[in-house]
Amino acid sequence: MPIIVKVDICVGCEACVNECPFGAIEMKDEKAVIGDKCTLCGTCVDICPSFAIEMADEPKSAPTEDLSAYKGVWVFAEQRNNKIVSVAYELLGEGRRLADSLGEELSAVLFGTGMDAEAKSLIEAGADRVYQVEAPLLNEFHEDAYADALSQLIKKYKPEIVLAGATSIGRAFVPVVATRVRTGLTADCTALDIDGEKKNLLQTRPAFGGNIMATIACPNNRPQMATVRPGVMKRLPPDAARMGEIIKEAPAGPLTSKTRLVETIDEAGHRINISEAEIIVSGGRGMGEKGFELLREIADMLGGVVGATRAAVDSGWMPYPHQIGQTGRTVSPRIYIACGISGAIQHLAGMQSSDMIIAINKDPDAPIFNVADIGIVGDVFEVLPAFAKKLKEMRG
């Protein structure tokens, strides 16, 4: 739904130029012209005193440009403090599979200065090419500068698919990029595939409160853009012998930001990174408040972390950063031990790609057993103390 200016009605008053929150409107020959930074927020439509600006209400039903010009799969390699976040490597694993099935190349996009070793690690993780945009402003996250830099690259190179992590950074700026390049975006995907016939990207995500999984395609616009939850896709083992191309890009124009980063503060007490844990000992309502002490003890002995269901978090037994599921974290540890957890679909959405799931539940019909590799029908307060005792013996 683009915004259009009716040039015969526009009186050149510049009210829209002054009011546009994104600085997206300029005057040309005394008429307003909507630029690339437009996010379709509609402020100009509301503000125009002569009703010369409108939202065009006809959605596009067919491609308006040659889609075959778009080639290749891109992964945005998010970094924080010069360290690439785990989801970027996971997306390269998935991107490799998608690119191979399309017969196209896989590229990573990396922002920031002094990141040469990280660029190489992206090639080792599956990329054929890395576009490295080196600008000091991109060392830290600034939504407008990130959106400018990625939109410019997409317009220049025309990738067919662009993937990014559904992290707080990805969720903030990737929708802005999708708007700038006039395409769709499926947020928070849990599965991706290529349609065998039309070669469109099939993007699957939970819908209607997690009760159904919706598969979404974007047949008329390019690139096809998706954000993907951390922990859902599998990274490839790094291959130091892989060869690839690193292209250093300068931003097309000077990057600016309306924001200034004053300080970054870790959330006190929430330093666990459950998304990257290899072993998670997770508890549900069946554990009761006291049972979580036992889970902490076992997790410590195994070198893992404690996870929780929403029921346990809502009861105040564990803080929210430990919640696993559709409205919590997505995890894929080597071992997930589900204790007193029924296995509701919203919980499974966050943990079922774990390598091995061990479930303990006293109800033999609990749905968690449908996804468990090892199921123990029993009382957690009998099974877990026996397990903890055995672990202590093994550790001497």
Ligand X SMILES: Cc1cc2nc3c(=O)[nH]c(=O)nc-3n(C[C@H](O)[C@H](O)[C@H](O)COP(=O)(O)OP(=O)(O)OC[C@H]3O[C@@H](n4cnc5c(N)ncnc54)[C@H](O)[C@@H]3O)c2cc1C
Displacement of CA 56 from its chain's centroid (Å) = 30
| Smallest separation, CB 89 to ligand X (Å) | 24
Q: Residue 32 class from Cβ within 10 Å (0-12 exposed, 13-18 middle, 19+ buried)?
A: buried
The interface region with ligand X, picked from 130-138, 161-169, 253-261, 362-370 by CB under 6 A, is 362-370
The interface region with ligand X, picked from 2-10, 110-118, 138-146, 334-342 by CB under 6 A, is 334-342
**Buried residues in 244-263 as b, exposed as e (16+ CB within 10 A):** bebeebebeeebebeeeeee
| Smallest separation, CB 337 to ligand X (Å) | 12
| Smallest separation, CB 392 to ligand X (Å) | 21
Judged by beta carbon, residue 127 or residue 351, the one nearer ligand X is 351
The interface region with ligand X, picked from 107-115, 216-224, 294-302, 338-346 by CB under 6 A, is 338-346
Task: Kindly identify the residues of this chain, within the stretch 209-248, that bind ligand X according to CB under 6 A.
Answer: 209-210
- Cα–Cα dist 83/247, whole Å: 19
Judged by beta carbon, residue 275 or residue 323, the one nearer ligand X is 323
- Is residue 236 helix, strand or coil? coil
Binding to ligand X by residue 138, rule CB under 6 A? no
Q: Provide DSSP, 163-208.
A: EEE-SHHHHHHHHHHHHHTT--EEEEESEEEE-TTT-PEEEEEEET
Site string for ligand X, 290-329 (x = CB under 6 A): -------------------xxxx----------xxxxxx-
Sequence letter at residue 138: L
Of 360, 57, 29, 345, the C-alpha closest to 213 is 345
Token duo for residue 150: 């990625």
Site string for ligand X, 278-297 (x = CB under 6 A): ------xxx-----------
- Judged by the rule CB under 6 A, the positions of this chain that interact with ligand X are 209-210, 284-286, 309-312, 323-328, 340-342, 344, 346-347, 350, 360-363, 366, 379-381
